[in-house]
Each structure stands twice: as structure tokens, then as C-alpha cells.
Amino acid sequence: MPENLYRAELLTYPGAWAFQLPRAGIILVTDQELRDLEDPDKQINLSLGHEPRMESLRQVCERAKAQGCRTLILAFDHFSASTVPAWGTRCSLYPDKPEYIQRIAGISKFAQQYGLGLELSLLNPLEIGPGYQQETGESGKWMHYRKGLRDPETGAFSVQLWRQTRWAANKGAVNIESDSVRVFAFRERRVGGTSYRAVNPDEIIEISDSAQVELLGDKREGMERVRVYGTGHPELGKLNRVLVVQVYRVPEMDYMSDKAFPYLERLIDRYADAGVKLNALYSDEAHIQQDWSYFGHHDHGQFAMRYVSDGFAKKFAGKYGDQYKDFAKYLVYFCYGQEDFAHDLSATEPVMHVFGDSPEEIRKTALFRSWYYRLLQDEVVDLFVKAKKHAEKRMGFKLEARAHATWAESPTIDMWRVGEENLPKNQYEYTSNFVWSNTVHQAAAACSDYFRWGDFLTGNGNDHAEGGWLDRDYYAQALACSTGLLNKVPYSYAAHWGMPNETSQRRTNINNAFGTAGSPLFGMVEDMSHREVEVLMLYPFDLVAVEERFGSWMTQYGYADMMTQNKVVECGQVKDGALILGGRRYTTLAATFEPFPKPELLEMMKTLAEQGGKVIWSGPPPVIDNNGNHILQAWQDMFGVDYSPSRNEGLMAPGRQVAFEGILEKVPSQVILTDLLVDHIYPVSPREGSQVVAGAQNHILGVHRVLPSNGSFTFLGFRPRDDQSASLGYETRTWFEVFNSLGSYPGTGKSGEVNDNTEYLSRTTDYLFCRFPNGTVAVAKHFFNYEEGWPGGFARNPEEDKKILESRPLPPDEIHLKDQVVNGHKVTFDGTSAMAFRRDSAGNLIAFAGSNCNEITFDGKTVQFADQKLPQLAWAPVPENRQIPNGARVQLMVYGTGRIRIPAESLSSPMDAFVEGPTPGSRGETVPSVLEDGKIVIDITPSIQGRWIYLVNRKVN
């Protein structure tokens, strides 16, 4: 499918470069606003803030055309609706309703007169439902489960729960209908030494015919309290527990139905046949229906709802066994901590239910939950990927869908009990006051796997640093570099909001260094790509399946890329001692929590080590693979250890200290913080030829095995901590020191015995250093020791923020490098914020971005590019895939005024300079320039500062 390429007069905008193109936007908050747009001259309030902004469709389109926009965003956004008086008044106009299509067609026809295509929220699960329900007779189904007591003699039971009545998400509020109530009787037995209760699935018996429902009159926003009760079935004898399942009909699709894709296909055809021109798909928070409220849907502290449509149950049973056809009764194995009826301390314990009491049966129960989350995620993504491809076929080109899938993130929206303290500054470590993660909410809504959603989304990205959280461990930047890795447009963003503007700029400096969609000035130097690194860590997708309290992170570590094991197996290959993934080479692969590995993953690890690479496994040794088959023996043989699995996943060791020896002897000792699952330890016995490298008390927790290839396997039977933010008052750096001791961050060898590796320097100096595939080196002053302490709202109060910053001044962001070795270079530089430079094979400076500077010295060569320090300037050659005949060869921008001198050694012919015209990439007025001592000299005047300037080969008469 061809790209919808924007071709300007001087250059093109392929791939990620298209993200720099301006686009107009109309964000709707009511049905009436869409109806009002039918009159292109009627003005409506388009403000997303508290001050009104009245404009008509015609005015928006005229301005868009003048700016060179080719896309008009038209979407409903419930988040924006909260800032205007008509909050939440979307009632009937959804993309799969005829009236909506008719009105959109009229708007599209009008916009096309101005050369505009639409960006519609068309293929978003939140928007497709009412029409689907009406046309197919199907809907989504959610099941809400609650455990209770049953008298085995009389059969009497009584269970209360919060019945859902209304949910609100990014596309508006929807009403939830009660479909039915089902009740199952069962019995359980305690599994000694654990918080597990064994339940035989064959002994779970439905007794729904005895159930009655009573409304208790207690109504809250979007829910009401109900009691489900009954008596009878004394013949069931010892079944002394019940599982109540409240089934909801939700106005969304049955995503696994045979009718789902044909419906989406017809829907797209209706738009295309109506003459709607699509340029993009507005895809912000593209998850299935759920409510925004983070922790407001919990029964006795558990998020106790799962999507189980008829199509899902059929699909799950077809894949994993006929016993799952009636999925409702298996929801008992999702129950967590619902023991409020207990007469002992177990009432507050995280009690879970398992298939049996053997170590294997317990793990197979967690695997069952993993299957649920994986199938739900995969089926939803695959459906919309398929629909997107059909839409692209109808439009004739690729459709951009740039956004992220979740409405909440882990750890950002995870909950710690902090009293009156600021929450964000406490969200960097699993400590004893950790309460609950939002990951299970996201997993149930089919959006917890950022990497899988990358198959649909363009570029991908995350909003982790939202609501005032600064992400001082750079976890979100590392995640963005990772989700961009395999995307068809490999350039993700690490967005942020909810902080003072000055603080926001400091985080942008870090984005600029990482290459995570910061300033376009840095993007052009770095070729719109992410930094590269030698270490890949496996993203712990299955942590929530083992215990749903926990998030999608084990350690927030910013100096490695991340990937799910599924994507590693699907897209990776081992070659010449490295794992090749997305065109990058990783010589170290580390597992952080991988209880159900694919056999192919272990085979890749084995091959990597045999070819000289490094493999590290932390956390629980795997007993079974992703299909439930035995895999422990193969794992033990690889890592040179023996492990005896118990019914618990590891041992509790709160307060114990892990000490290191052997090849890891320089790693500082580490304290095990808590008794939580994430901090469990896994003692092993080393086999002959394996070296002990870590232990706690009498337990061996670390073993290192070297292969003849000099590759290695390292097992760490605990959670290595790493927190550069020092959120607990001290820094921990176990992961970094382990990687460094194993040689995962090698220098280039061009700086003698000094390690000039960018990640090594980032953890041993005051600066963040990054390197890029095109040879660029970037640097920013670290910003990890400034604690959060401000309201996290989206709209800012400048006066309030000013007072906050006056009371807590920001640290300096000055950069002072003196003969700093980095990635094979020796650099001297003075400036602020962030800096990036690139040289060609001849050693000439060909690209640069920096602030408050006028020169740089690298490899003994000083380049003065301005007569005085300028607030900001950048230049870079136009890459070949952007060039057109007689077009731009160099692109630059300067903030401030004065004379600049752009090195011209690499330019093959004389150049003329032009400022950009009114539209992107257009030729504006000529900028006077001269070639002087191998440099192009330009005087930057107030009229051209802050505008793109293009250098074009001079025409020869």
C-alpha cells in the first residue's frame, strides 16, 4: 500500500517526518456541535480550555489551507468535554450510526474544497457499538464476579456487589445494562503454607435457578448496590461457597464474533461510498469499553470484571479446550482477596483460587489467566488491523493512526498509600505501602500490551509522564524507544503533561537526547529515530496474570530497550552473537519476570549465548511454558542450576540483603524491600562449572555460567532494583552494575582504557548521553533529582506554578563538557538544555542542535558556528529519502539574531538560502548568504528567526 506522501516544493515528508506537518482540528464535546457544523458558517465554541474560541468550519478550513494543512481532525473527546459547560452530552451520534455518516460526508465534501482529508475516530472500539448492536443483535458482554458463603445444609447464600450502570471513557458515557445474574456453587480447600484455595473446576455447579436480586437503594455515580441471594439445592452437600456472576450487556462489539469484521468492512464502505476522504484515523486510547475511574470499580479491593462475550468464550474454548465453553464459572480463578466474610486474618489476604495444590497446577492457573489476557488483546488488535487495511484499500494509501492505546499507565496511575504526601514522588519503587496497579484494568480492557497495539498504531507512544509524574528514571523514554522499534513508522513519543511549563521543558530536554519525539530540531539531527543501546529486557506482560495486584513493570530502568517475549520470538533472530530486532543489535538479553516462556524464546537465548552473547534471567525459574508443557529441565540445563519449585512462587525475604561475589563482586549489596510477589527470592543449587555470584543468608540467589564461546548465562533469583531518582532517599543501581560487570556496556576502544559507552557515562556522570544509528551523539543535563511537588492538572495556573518554582527552584540545566570522551569522540562544549552533533566520515561537522552556544570542539577540531551565543540553533543535511530534484539539501533553524556560519565542507556545490514560505517545505523569500572560509554565512534577522531556512543548490545559468 503506497504512502500518502506530502511532497512540497523543496522536500518531502515521508514516514515519521510527516509527524511534523501541521493539521487543523475540531474536537467535539456534544452531539449538537456536529449538527451545527452542517452550516459551514455557523460559529461554535472550539476552545478546549476555559476561555471560549468561536469559529466556523469555513474559518477553520481557510486557515488550514493557508498553513498548508492537508488533514482536518474531527473527533469527540470526553476528556476535553470536562472543561466546558456541556460536559458529557454526547447521546446518539456515533460513527456507526447513519446520521453521523451523513453529517461527516457533508463536512468532508466541504473540507475537500480546501484540499483537506479527515482524521476520524472511526476504527476505535470505544466508538463502534450502538450501530453494531442494532444491526447484528449482538453486543459486548462483561461479567462481574463476587465470591460469598453458602450454607451447605440449606443452600442459603447472600452476596452483595456494586452493579455497574454507566461507564465513561474518552469517547463519552455509555449505559450498562444488566443481562442476567448467574450463581455457581463450589467448595474449596486451603493449600497449606500459601494464600491459595484449590477449587476443582468439575465441582463448580450452577444454581442460578435459586437466585434472586434485591436493589438495596444505595446508588453512586454509575453504580448501585445489589444483593444476590437464594436457597435450595441441598443435594449439593458440601459445596459451601458461591460465585455470583453479574452479566452486563455493553454497547460495543462482540470482537470475536463472525459478524465483527464484515460489519467493520461494511461500515468503512459506507464512509467511502458517501465520498468521505480519510487521511488518518484518530486513535487516542483505542481500548474496548471500560470506565475511566481508576480505582472506583472494586469489590473488596479487587477490579472484578472481565470481558466475556459469546464470541470470546467460543474462541477461547476452540483454542484451549471445550471445558471453557461456559467461561463464567472459571471466573472463580480470577477472584482475588474477596474473603471479607472470613473469620480469621485471611479476610485481608490476597487469596486466589487454583486448579489444584501442586506447584504445576498452581502455575497452570496463572497461565490460564495469561491465556485470557493474551487472547483478548490479540483478537481485538487483529480485528482492527484487518479493518484498517480495508480502509487503506478503499482510500488508496496508508492511513496514519498515531496515538497510544491506554487511558492509564503503570506505574503512573498505580496506587501507593502515602497519606498527605505527594503521590508522584513515591511512584518509583515497590515498597510496603504499594496498594494496587491499574494494569489489570488495562489488561481487561485489551490495551495493556503497547507492543501488540503497535501493529495498528502509527509510530506508537505513551503518556506515562502524565498527571504531574516526571518519570525521573527515564522509564517512559526507554519504553518509547522500544515501542517504536518494530513499528512500520519507527518513531514513538514519550509525552508528558500536568507540570509547570519550565519543568516540562526540562523533561523535553531528556526527550531530545533520547530521540523520543522531542523538538523537531533534534529530530532532524537524529534522523527522526530513537537512541540505540546493546541491552534488551523482556517486558513482564504476565506479571498481572500471576498476581493481578501488580503492574507491568518490575524495575523502572531507562538504559535498555524492552520487548515482550511474543514480539521477540515473532520478529527477532540471533545472528553473529547478537539478537537482531527492528534493525538493532542486542548483545545482552535479560528476562525480568517470565513465568511462561515460549520454547522458541529459550532456544533463542541458548543460541545467543552459544554465539558469544549474554543472557540474564531474573525472577522465577519457569516450570511450564506458554502452552502448559514442562520446561524447567531445559531451563536448568541452560543456566547450570537446579531448582525445586514450591507451591508458592518463590520465598518471602523482606529486609534480607543480597551480597555479590565472583564476576559481580563490584555490585553493591541490595536490600529486598518487601514480602510482595515481586520481591520473592528463588534459591538454586549450582551445577558443576557454574559460579556463585549472589546470595542472601544461606540462600544461593545468583549463578553465572560461561560457555566456550565466551557467551554466558546468568541467573539472578531476586528482583534487581535500580532507581536513579533516589526516591527512597538513596540511589539503587543493581541492574546497571550487573550489566556493567558482565560487559554489557562496552566502550568503543577509541578512547584508550576509558569506557566511552553512552549508557555507562549516563550512570557515572551528571549527563545523559545517547547515540543514534546515523552516528549522532546527544547529551542533556540529567533531570532525575528534582522531586515532584505540584498539582497534576492538564490546564495550568501560571501564578500558582510560579510560586511553586520560586519555593523550589529548578536545578541548572547547563552543559559543560571538557574533553569528554563519548562514543569514540572527545568533546568540549558549553551550552544549556540539550545538544546533539553528527560528523561525516571525513570528520566534518554536518549536523548540530544546541542552545545558548556558539561553538563545539570535537576530536581536536573547533567549529565556531555563530559570532555570539544564540538561544537555539540547529542544522542538518536533508536525508536522501526527503530530497527532490532542485530541492533543499540542508535544513536549519535559528532562534535569536546574529551571524551564523554553517560548515560547508560536505556540500558539493554553491548554495542559495530560502526561508520557508507559508506552507511546509515551500520556497519563501531569498535569504542573503555568502560562502566564506568553507562556511555558509547568514545574518539571522528578526523576520527569519524561528523559521525554517533551506539551502538549495544554486542554479547555473
For 751-787, write each residue's pLDDT tens digit: 899 999 999 999 999 999 999 999 999 999 999 999 9
Distance CA 594, CA 589 (A): 13
Please list, in sequence order, all residues whose beta carbon lies within 8 angstroms of the beta carbon of residue 262, skipping any fewer than 6 positions away. Answer: none
Show the low-confidence residues of the chain (pLDDT under 70): 79-91, 956-957
Please name the amino acid found at residue 297.
Answer: H
Distance CA 76, CA 98 (A): 17
Distance CA 741, CA 714 (A): 12
What's the confidence (pLDDT) of residue 88? 45
DSSP codes joined into one string, 586-620:
ESEEEESS-SS--HHHHHHHHHHHHTT-EEEEESP
What's the confidence (pLDDT) of residue 81? 57
CA separation (Å) from 835 to 515, 763, 815? 12, 18, 8
Domains of the chain: 131-256+288-354 (no CATH), 535-741 (3.40.50.880), 809-953 (2.60.40)
Distance CA 700, CA 681 (A): 10
> Degrees (nearest 5) of the Cα angle 223, 224, 227?
135
What single DSSP character describes residue 290? -
Distance CA 538, CA 563 (A): 5
Strand partners, 7: 12
CB 196 within 8 A of CB 647: yes
At which residue does the C-alpha cell 518487601 appear? 674
At which residue does the C-alpha cell 461494511 appear? 266
- Residue 294 main-chain phi, psi, to 5 deg: -65, -50
Instruction: Using DSSP, state whether 691 is helix, strand or coil.
Output: strand
pLDDT per residue over 61-104, tens digit each?
A: 999 999 999 999 999 887 665 544 444 455 678 999 999 999 99
CB 854 within 8 A of CB 870: yes
Instruction: Using DSSP, state whether 878 is helix, strand or coil.
Output: coil
CA separation (Å) from 709 to 52, 300, 579, 607, 712? 68, 54, 16, 11, 8
Provide the phi-psi class of 843: left if phi over 0, else alpha when psi is between -120 and 50, else beta: left
Helices marked H in 68-126: 78-81, 98-112
Q: How large a percentage of the chain has pLDDT more than 90? A: 92
Strands (E), 342-441: 352-354, 415-416, 434-436
Strand partners, 488: none
- Helix or strand (DSSP H, E) at 850: strand 845-851
What's the confidence (pLDDT) of residue 957? 60
Distance CA 636, CA 634 (A): 6
Distance CA 6, CA 340 (A): 61
The number of residues making up the chain comes to 957
Residue 485: alpha-carbon gap to chain centroid: 12
Strand partners, 704: 691, 714
CA separation (Å) from 520 to 506, 775, 793, 877? 16, 18, 26, 14
Instruction: Using DSSP, state whether 520 is helix, strand or coil.
Output: helix
Please list, in sequence order, all residues whose beta carbon lies within 8 angstroms of the beta carbon of residue 775, skipping any fewer than 6 positions away. Answer: 838, 839
Distance CA 208, CA 211 (A): 5
What's the confidence (pLDDT) of residue 955? 79
DSSP codes joined into one string, 456-469:
TSSS-EEEEE-TT-
CB 338 within 8 A of CB 147: yes
Give the residue from 541, 648, 628, 551 showing the smallest Cα distance to 593: 541
pLDDT per residue over 223-234, tens digit each?
A: 999 999 999 999
CA separation (Å) from 696 to 682, 687, 691? 10, 19, 15
- Residue 580 main-chain phi, psi, to 5 deg: -100, 120
> Residue 344, Cβ neighbours under 10 Å: how many?
8
SS3 content of the chain, % helix, strand, coil (to 5): 25, 30, 45
CB 618 within 8 A of CB 592: yes
Distance CA 744, CA 322 (A): 47
Enter the C-alpha cell of residue 866.
Answer: 555563530
Q: Give the torsion sign (CA, 658, 661, 662, 668).
A: positive
> Residue 726, Cβ neighbours under 10 Å: how many?
14
What's the confidence (pLDDT) of residue 84? 46
Distance CA 730, CA 736 (A): 15
